[in-house]
Amino acid sequence: MNSETIVLNAPKKHLSGTIKLTGSKSESNRALIMQALSNGKVRLENLSKAADTVTLAHILNSGCATSDVGPAGTAMRFLTAFYTLQTANVLLTGSERMKQRPIGILVDALKQLGAHIEYAEDEGYPPLHIKGPLQQTNSQVTIRGDVSSQYISALLLIAPSLPLGLDLHITGELTSKPYIEMTLALLEQAGIKYTWGGPIIHIAQQPFHACTISIEPDWSAASYWYAMATLADQAEFFLPGLNGYSLQGDSQITEIMANFGITSQFKDGGVLLTKEPKILERKIFDFKACPDLAQTVIVCCAALGHDATFTGLETLKIKETDRIKALQNELAKFGVKLIERNNVYKLDCRALHFPDKIYINTYDDHRMAMALTPLIFKIKDVEIENSSVVAKSYPHFWDDLMRITSLTQPSPLERTF
């Protein structure tokens, strides 16, 4: 779809169908770095069609002196580490928002290994001048675990190619641990051995083995269909290719949404999710391991008038936008407050109401657009600006939505600000 602003109106609230999701963006981006470092020994199947993955694949194949990742945060972090091993001088840059997203912790860790990296503009932020290859004199690196798991994954992905290997010491609480486990599991598929004892992950210098990695469909994308099922009157979806032993942390959506009456049956090579009547009783949701699910679940709780409490949201402020502030703005449009006290967030739904029409700002954030879309089952007309932003992770989202909800075509609008 090419239109930027669309109006959605769901003609039915009973949903059923099959949704074929693109490959996991998280798995795909890690696997692409592995493929590049292995000189093609690692082969990939079912690569994600997400814009972030397409961008990363293009950059890895281009060999340009300037690499622009746009808004692709994972690409920025992974390429920062990747380029330290290459015999090249590279300027790594991105969108204006990317230049506001901190990367100093990763740069400092790479400098501990002997990398040559300079900030082209503001200290601690992209763009970066990277001169490789690094001359490693040290294998010991200390890095905080409570900021972004992508910093840690970036280091782990290059570890087998480091002349002295890597001893990574993680300090503090580890955020998004399943993403670290995903990285290590993918490396293991390519024959990379590691040890993880306490706060230290050790990977020796070693070659990648020839292998084929089949990318699982994206559980993050699946989460939006769980939300649709939650707010619709009746729902039954089949999502082929997903399994109950996923590497993806966002597969926790099955356990979270069970609280809302959504059951998940793994059968016939996928997952069947159905809605059953259930009173929502859970009061506290912790997203430390799966922060990308937070917006989706918070919107569902708000729309159901459930004054839930949320923890583990610390990383949301440094994502594609400040997701906390963005949620506060959008929830207020139907009377709900998201209140913060010492990193604990609570909904106040006392003034919840559903207007006939609502205008949703996306803040150039794909997850804001998709997390708020299920409001179509509570509000007659939902107008969403910058609808094409979903291409970042789920390019066929609107097409799937039209088919499942019987929307004939979302209405494109011209809007003057």
CA–CA separation, 351 and 321 (whole Å): 26
Phi then psi for 340, rounded to 5 degrees?
-105, 130
292 carries an active-site annotation: yes
289: Cβ–Cβ under 8 A, 6 or more apart, which residues? 176, 177, 178, 249, 252, 312
- Residue of 52, 250, 292, 400 marked active site: 292
Write out the two tokens for 225. 């269909």
Asked if residue 94 lies in contact with residue 70, where contact means CB atoms within 8 angstroms, the answer is yes
234 forms bridges with which residues in the sheet? 14
Q: Three-state SS for 183?
A: helix
E-assigned strands of 281-395? 284-286, 309-311, 337-341, 344-348, 357-360, 381-384
Asked whether the CA dihedral 204, 208, 209, 214 is positive or negative, the reply is: positive
Q: Three-state SS for 148?
A: coil
CA–CA separation, 348 and 351 (whole Å): 8
284 forms bridges with which residues in the sheet? 309
DSSP string covering 269-308, please?
TEEEEEE--------EEE-SS-GGGHHHHHHHHHHTT---
Number of Cβ atoms within 10 Å of the Cβ of 196:
14
CA–CA separation, 42 and 189 (whole Å): 9
CA–CA separation, 155 and 166 (whole Å): 8
271 forms bridges with which residues in the sheet? 239, 266
Q: Kindly report the CA angle at 268 between 265 and 274, in degrees rounded to 5?
A: 30
Write out the two tokens for 222. 């699946």
Number of Cβ atoms within 10 Å of the Cβ of 307:
15
Q: Which of 270, 249, 248, 274 is nearest to 260 (CA)?
A: 274
CA–CA separation, 218 and 46 (whole Å): 11
Phi then psi for 66, rounded to 5 degrees?
-120, 125
Enzyme catalytic residues: 292
